[in-house]
Amino acid sequence: MQQEWNERRDRTDRRYSNDRRDGIDRRLGEDRRKTNIPVEIDNRKSSDRRKGTTRRKGTDQRGGLDRRLLVPRNDKKIGKVILGGIIMAALALSFLYYEKDIATEALSGTIAGMETQQLNILGGKNTNLKELLSEGPVLLDFWATWCGPCLKEMVHLQRFHEKYEGYGLTILTVNQDSPKSISKVRSVLKSKKFSFMVALDPNGKIAKRLNAQLMPTTILLDMDGVIRWMHQGYLPGDEIEIESRIQALIGYQEPTPITS
């Protein structure tokens, strides 16, 4: 009996020999819970899943950037100040260049060869400079819808049109927009309530022949087709000289103010 018992005890405990959870023989007196040795994980050596670089190297988990390479905030502020200075310097140089290009000239040239060139009048019949000059002096102004100074000057041109139309002066503005922008030209004229004559010159042929390189370009013609005055560009206050040139050409004198 005793021998049979010993033989049984030497046999493998079938109930636990194939225990997949631990595989520990219960007869050894070991607690399964003690055999589960925890695995220590060194987080410092683990890699950033998004970039695959170790955290010990200073990886910024948000973008995978090395923190040592990040620019401090003070340096960013200095960079912005430098960039702002460069932009201001560029604006100053561009303003000086623009002011240099503004030219006011008393010319003695003529529009010979252009008197009969057809002018495509917006919203009206076609005409030419010869027909317009037969009625009086003509002020030509080259402009475009995208030209801010042009639109500012045209406010004063509208005032001159209303004031001096009775003296024979014709104000003809020549638009330089592309054919696709005709609707925009109409919209601008309607919104600003401009009533002077507008010609279309989408290919810039008229502007090139009259050397209108900068917009706006204002040219004052007498009845003989002689260019009496030319002005390129516009700055606030230029309208004073434009009006004085108009008055000198048409012989207009401001009425003397009545003093009591």
CB 68 within 8 A of CB 77: no
Which candidate, 175, 144, 171, places its Cα nearest to that of 239?
171
Architecture of domain 105-250: 3-Layer(aba) Sandwich (3.40)
Phi, psi of 118 (to 5 degrees): -70, 135
Task: Give pLDDT, residue 99.
Answer: 43
Amino acid code (one letter) for 40: E
To 5 degrees, how large is the angle CA 51–CA 53–CA 57? 135
* C-alpha dist (Å) from residue 81 to 19, 89, 94, 259: 72, 12, 20, 57
- Spell out the domain ranges in the chain: 69-101, 105-250
List per-residue pLDDT tens for the chain, 260 residues long: 555 655 555 555 555 555 555 555 555 555 555 545 554 555 555 455 555 555 555 555 555 555 555 555 566 677 777 887 888 776 666 554 444 444 444 444 788 888 889 999 998 789 999 999 999 999 999 999 999 999 999 999 999 999 999 999 999 999 999 988 889 999 999 999 999 999 999 999 999 999 998 999 999 999 999 999 999 999 999 999 999 999 999 998 877 666 65
CB 170 within 8 A of CB 198: no
Please state, in angstroms and rounded to a whole number, the distance separating the CA atoms of residues 33 and 228. Answer: 108
Instruction: Give the separation between CA 201 and CA 185, rounded to whole angstroms.
Output: 12
pLDDT at site 103:
45
Task: Please give the single-letter amino acid code of residue 242.
Answer: I
Rounded Cα distance between 53 and 70, Å, is: 16
Q: CB–CB of 138/227 below 8 Å?
A: no
- Note the pLDDT of residue 106: 46
Per-residue pLDDT, 52: 52
